[in-house]
Chain A
Amino acid sequence: RKEVEQDPGPFNVPEGATVAFNCTYSNSASQSFFWYRQDCRKEPKLLMSVYSSGNEDGRFTAQLNRASQYISLLIRDSKLSDSATYLCVLYPGSARQLTFGSGTQLTVLP
């Protein structure tokens, strides 16, 4: 079983739609959780951190459910510029390297 599993998509949604991605992880000792965004042929960049209490950054909301070992990302009022691949990322804590999911591809259509 992969450490981090994501639905690869693609998700094709119209502008203005709300879209949600989920990610499950197997290492219950994971300490920190993140969503990264990767544009086509570019490097991954940190989008936001994920906390059990949930956190919001404008149109983006991230949530962590430790009991069920999944994290989610909700994008409201999708924009064309949101088209990208979204990577679910864990920081196990004991090691210093991040563990990446394979990504979920989002295309927002005009």
Chain B
Amino acid sequence: DVKVTQSSRYLVKRTGEKVFLECVQDMDHENMFWYRQDPGLGLRLIYFSYDVKMKEKGDIPEGYSVSREKKERFSLILESASTNQTSMYLCASSSPGLGGYGYTFGSGTRLTVV
């Protein structure tokens, strides 16, 4: 069974902390994505990557950075966590050959910043 695994299901961090959210996929997918989901706003794209060491900004990159040192792993970094970054974070991966099909999501990390 193909999988996208996010390292933590629930996370509580303090304002100003540096936070790492990890995502690993076992499908050899080239594309990986980080979204955040908030009530009434839906899923919003933070960053994505089409290849190792490659990254592109999504719609809301401010306050975030990413790292993709290996094909299977895509990390989201909150440089200095703030309360407005309290949200559900979802990682996804896909293969470009599948177009819009074949997106697989991780089970999400619910981050609370206090």
In the docked arrangement, what's the CA distance between A75 and B8, Å? Answer: 34
Question: Interface of chain A, helix or strand or loop or mixed?
Answer: loop
Judged by a CB distance under 8 angstroms, whether A1 is at the interface is no
Judged by a CB distance under 8 angstroms, whether B11 is at the interface is no
In the docked arrangement, what's the CA distance between A34 and B35, Å? Answer: 18
Judged by a CB distance under 8 angstroms, whether A16 is at the interface is no
* Chain A: number of interface residues, binned into ranges: 20 to 34
Q: Which residues of A contact B100 (CB under 8 A)?
A: 31-32, 34, 89-91, 98
Judged by a CB distance under 8 angstroms, whether A49 is at the interface is yes
Judged by a CB distance under 8 angstroms, whether A44 is at the interface is yes
Distance between B101 CB and nearest chain A CB, rounded to angstroms: 7
Judged by a CB distance under 8 angstroms, whether A97 is at the interface is yes
> Which A residues are within 8 Å of any B CB, using their own CB?
4, 8, 31-32, 34, 41-46, 49, 87, 89-91, 93, 96-98, 100-103
| B42 with A87: CB separation less than 8 A | yes
* Chain B: number of interface residues, binned into ranges: 20 to 34
| B42 with A43: CB separation less than 8 A | no
In the docked arrangement, what's the CA distance between A98 and B58, Å? Answer: 11
| B106 with A43: CB separation less than 8 A | yes
Cβ-closest 3 pairs across A and B: A91-B100, A102-B42, A43-B105
| B42 with A101: CB separation less than 8 A | yes
Q: Which residues of B contact A46 (CB under 8 A)?
A: 101, 103
| B107 with A32: CB separation less than 8 A | no
Specify the chain A residue showing the minimal Cβ separation from B4.
A43
| A45 with B41: CB separation less than 8 A | no
Judged by a CB distance under 8 angstroms, whether B74 is at the interface is no
| B50 with A43: CB separation less than 8 A | no
